Structure 1
Amino acid sequence: MKSSVTMMTQTTAALAMMAALAACSADEGDAADAEGAEEAEGHGAEATAGEVTGETSEPSDRETSEAGGPTPRLALTYDGGVQVLEGATLDTLSDHSVEGFLRLNPAGDGRHLFLTAGESFRLLDAGTWGEPHGDHHHYYTTEPVLTDITVDGDTPGHVVAHDGVGTLFFDGSGAIHTFDLEDLDAEAELETAEAAVDDAHHGVAVTLGDGSRLETIGEGEERSGARVLDPSGEEIAASEDCPGVHGEAALSNGTLALGCEDGALLYADGEFTTVKAEGSLETADGYARTGNLFPAEDSTVLLGDRNLDPEGEEPMTEIALLDADSGEMTAVDVGAAYNFRSLARGPEGEALVLAEDGLLHAYDESGEQLWELELLDPWEEPEEWQEPRPAITVDGDLAWITDPDQQQIHLVDLAEEEIINSAELDVVPNEIALADGRAPEGAESTEGADDADDSGGHENHDHEDHDHEEHDH
């Protein structure tokens, strides 16, 4: 079986070529738009909101097609709904009307996402997945569908997938719902196991492979740290040395990290340790918040935002690079403001920052600038965190970046440091999230299944680690 790195490189190269060809075809076909509109609608390409709607098939009625490789799909929210785009061509595949402010989180299995709408997490099937079959993989696509499957509760917050288990956290009640990722299915209700923290707060929980659970400690607006409970609910480790604890990141070596107002809190081998923003990294009052952390594969270095103003009035212009192995933290001045939707990791562990100067900045793990790419006009973060602003999400060598002001989306080849495709949107994009369409590590092989299953009639929803939370508020 090919290594995941080799598969990712081949996949992203193929997608980059597809995107470039799609962009060229679009340029050549401008004069024939009217003639080709009917044909495009049939493939979900270049469709307007009037052509692609939430009137999707019943999940069981959808046709499945085998693809030549993984087919990433991007979901994006807007005021009034959520769209699903084809990752390479950026064509709109479906458009679903949903009222209220919406948030997006990958479910962790490479296929599904959770749409936070009102008082529920609602399952969105992006319709792309992969299955291992002996020494190779099969990949499939079908029509995206926003299901009626929900997990309901008071103020849904963070979604985390780890060790094959998904965990949903409800801020308003402190309720925790867990489920096996392989149980995600657009055609079946999702059964969850329920638990709760002692006091409701804006928090997060992570269920580990041995059945133990890490959960944050807090009450109302105050959050102080985290603890770990064994499968029977007995506390086995705890730390309240993490003021304002927020977010979650999982490193490849199994270490879990949480952001604090004075650094970060790490959990590994049954113990908590802290990494403090000390010396030149701390402010006069000791406040130096790292509220969102982003890992990279096979690296011990985490990228974090760095907020030095407890009132939240001054923009963030520095990032934090935290080595969970050595306990060292480095601050890097980007030279321009950014926000919590601006950060991501590149294929070689690069720290990527989409800043208000319109540039995508790339740094190595020591903090040295590698390159920068002009993408957008200069912009300013809106006052309300719910309002649209540029966002970035990454898969291998490829990055998807939104431009709400221009109602555009760009596909960037990070290896070549260039835009390879762009598309006009008929909505103002807000949050984005990706379903990568790959067979997750550890997925059960379908070798030996009957012909119907091997052709795509069988759907395998196994697990993939979800390494970070990309939101803040």
Structure 2
Amino acid sequence: MIGAASVIPSRKDPVRSRIVPLALALVGSLALASCAGAAPGKPASTEAGDGHGEIAGAVELAEPALGLTSVDADGAVRHLDLLDESVTDLGSTAPPVGMTTDGRYLFVETADGVQIVDSGVWTWDHVDHFHYYRAEPRLLGTVEGEGPVTVATTNSSTTGGTGLFFAGSGESVLLDTEALSKGEVVERFRDDDGGLVVPVGSFALVARGGEVAVRSADGAPTGESAACVDPRGAITTRVGAVVGCGDGALLATAATGGVAIERIPYPQGTTAPRAEAFANREGRPTVAALAGDSAVWLLDTRAREWTLLPAPAPLAAVTAVDDADGHVLALAKDGRMLVLEAATGAQLAATEPLVADSLSTGAAPVLIADQQRAYLSAPSEHRMFEIDFADGARLARTFETASAPAFVAETGR
């Protein structure tokens, strides 16, 4: 067992942008054996059970197996390895209408519910260092429900729970994430008259009727609750779980025998639109959200404070890198990716309009941030872009895709 340093390995990255064609993998059944055996990092261990996030049959790696796992409009699931640029076909789901990820699993919303894809690569956070794993990728099954669905995950893909709220049927479901890591879809509880479900340690928050209440893993109320008018949006940071409310946010953290809930109100006198969806580099304390299309909300969950930044252009999406330089990444409605300064909102750099066609046709590009790079999907352009945001928004790599990547997640993180 190694204690790998908390660094991201360098990726193939020439000085000038280049285009990398993605060959179509075989359509149909899972190419499991070839994917599982092609670990991009040197295997460090195949033993399991010592509490470092691994499972039986997984291989520990010396570096993270980062990839882009995508689902196209027909449901074809493909995985692009960002280290060796190989592409693996992982099978197919029903046609997707939405997707959420925790960095390992893809929760793909379809007409019948949520189909779960295990990418087979993940990182386990040990606070001062990380452990990296690869296991067999697979399609795990479907959680039935009538959407639209809101999925809330944690930063752990081997412990705790995953929350699903099916707005159409009003059902709240808490999945057992440890069971998912073993290939099983297990519902810890299903509430027919529920609301937004947000996991917190071995507990869960359920939002309903202007209140967020704490439930145990089996769904039993604990008696702990907090007011939350019109809950929308949830995300888990290194500090705790965030739930967006009409007047700010709730921050829930695991406490002895239960959950502690704190309110983080918007700054007094603000008239900016509320935050409705949060995004960040996974696990970091600061998250970002749109305030309409002309400003950005930053929520620092460690400092328990909001910051409102003016936007230099109308925006379609935003995410917080939360690095030492305070980068915030935004997708402008004209198709450019902007690099903003977290302290002032000033524009530091911008790309060319990479996804203008996708935005004009409503194809919804996905913007992802990690420690070193940003990834931007371009469904209409049939491309995915890798951008070095710290180097003047330089276009590092362009991946051509044979089909339109309707939804994309960075996995292995």
Instruction: Tell me the TM-score range normalised by the shorter chain.
Output: 0.7 to 0.9
In structure 2, relative to structure 1, the CA distance for the partners of 1:266 and 1:362 (3 Å cut) is same
Question: Equivalent of 1:293, from 278, 299, 311?
Answer: 278
Aligned to 1:67: 40
Q: Deviations over 1:247-277 (max 9, x none)?
A: 11233223x3222344333345623424135
- In the alignment, does 2:117 pair up with 1:124? yes
Q: Helix, strand or coil: the match of 2:69?
A: strand
- In the alignment, does 2:106 pair up with 1:113? yes
Q: Distance in 1 between matches of 2:231 and 2:36?
A: 45
TM-score (norm 1): 0.68
Aligned to 2:366: 391
CA apart distance, 1:212? 2.8
In structure 2, relative to structure 1, the CA distance for the partners of 1:195 and 1:289 (3 Å cut) is same
Instruction: Give the counterpart letter for 1:251 in structure 2.
Output: T
Aligned to 1:431: 407
Aligned to 2:222: 234
Which has a greater percent of strand? 2
Question: Equivalent of 1:264, from 226, 249, 257?
Answer: 249
Where structure 1 has 5 or more consecutive residues not aligned to the other structure, the ranges are 28-44, 219-223, 308-315, 439-473
Question: Equivalent of 1:178, from 163, 171, 174?
Answer: 174
Q: Distance in 2 between matches of 1:185 and 1:395?
A: 23
Aligned to 2:57: none
- In the alignment, does 2:190 pair up with 1:195? yes
Aligned to 1:152: 144
Residue pair 2:358, 2:378 contacting (<8 A) in 1 also: no
Q: Deviations over 1:433-461 (max 9, x none)?
A: 1212x5xxxxxxxxxxxxxxxxxxxxxxx
Residue pair 2:351, 2:395 contacting (<8 A) in 1 also: no
Question: Equivalent of 1:214, from 174, 189, 205?
Answer: 205
In structure 2, relative to structure 1, the CA distance for the partners of 1:323 and 1:60 (3 Å cut) is closer
CA apart distance, 1:296? 5.6
Aligned to 1:454: none
CA apart distance, 1:282? 0.6
Instruction: Give the counterpart letter for 2:308 in structure 1.
Output: A
Residue pair 1:100, 1:117 contacting (<8 A) in 2 also: yes
TM-score (norm 2): 0.76
Question: Equivalent of 1:318, from 283, 291, 295?
Answer: 295
Where structure 2 has 5 or more consecutive residues not aligned to the other structure, the ranges are 42-62, 254-258
Q: Helix, strand or coil: the match of 2:313?
A: strand
Q: Distance in 1 between matches of 2:16 and 2:133?
A: 21
Q: Distance in 2 between matches of 1:344 and 1:362?
A: 10
Aligned to 1:104: 99
Question: Equivalent of 2:340, from 363, 388, 397?
Answer: 363
Q: Distance in 2 between matches of 1:360 and 1:274?
A: 29
In structure 2, relative to structure 1, the CA distance for the partners of 1:61 and 1:86 (3 Å cut) is closer
**Higher RCO (Cα < 8 Å, 6 or more apart):** 1
Residue pair 2:15, 2:396 contacting (<8 A) in 1 also: no
Q: Deviations over 1:72-120 (max 9, x none)?
A: 12122322123322234555321644443332222x3x43322222222
Q: Which has the larger radius of gyration?
A: 1
Instruction: Give the counterpart letter for 1:157 in structure 2.
Output: V
Q: Helix, strand or coil: the match of 2:276?
A: coil
Q: Distance in 1 between matches of 2:243 and 2:68?
A: 27
Q: Helix, strand or coil: the match of 1:290?
A: coil
Q: Distance in 2 between matches of 1:346 and 1:299?
A: 6
- In the alignment, does 2:401 pair up with 1:415? no
Question: Equivalent of 2:266, from 271, 276, 280?
Answer: 276
Q: Deviations over 1:284-327 (max 9, x none)?
A: xxxx22101235678654322112xxxxxxxx121112344655
Residue pair 2:355, 2:365 contacting (<8 A) in 1 also: no
Q: Deviations over 1:351-398 (max 9, x none)?
A: 2111123332233432342622214257388699xx412221122212
Question: Equivalent of 1:56, from 30, 53, 58?
Answer: 30
Q: Distance in 1 between matches of 2:360 and 2:152?
A: 27
Q: Percent identity?
A: 21
Residue pair 1:347, 1:397 contacting (<8 A) in 2 also: no
Instruction: Give the counterpart letter for 1:194 in structure 2.
Output: F
Which has a greater percent of helix? 1
Q: Distance in 2 between matches of 1:362 and 1:23?
A: 18
Q: Distance in 1 between matches of 2:345 and 2:396?
A: 26
Q: Which segment is superposed worse, 121-130 or 413-422?
A: 121-130
Q: Distance in 2 between matches of 1:262 and 1:138?
A: 39
Aligned to 1:251: 237
Residue pair 1:75, 1:83 contacting (<8 A) in 2 also: yes
Q: Distance in 1 between matches of 2:130 and 2:93?
A: 39
Residue pair 1:358, 1:376 contacting (<8 A) in 2 also: yes
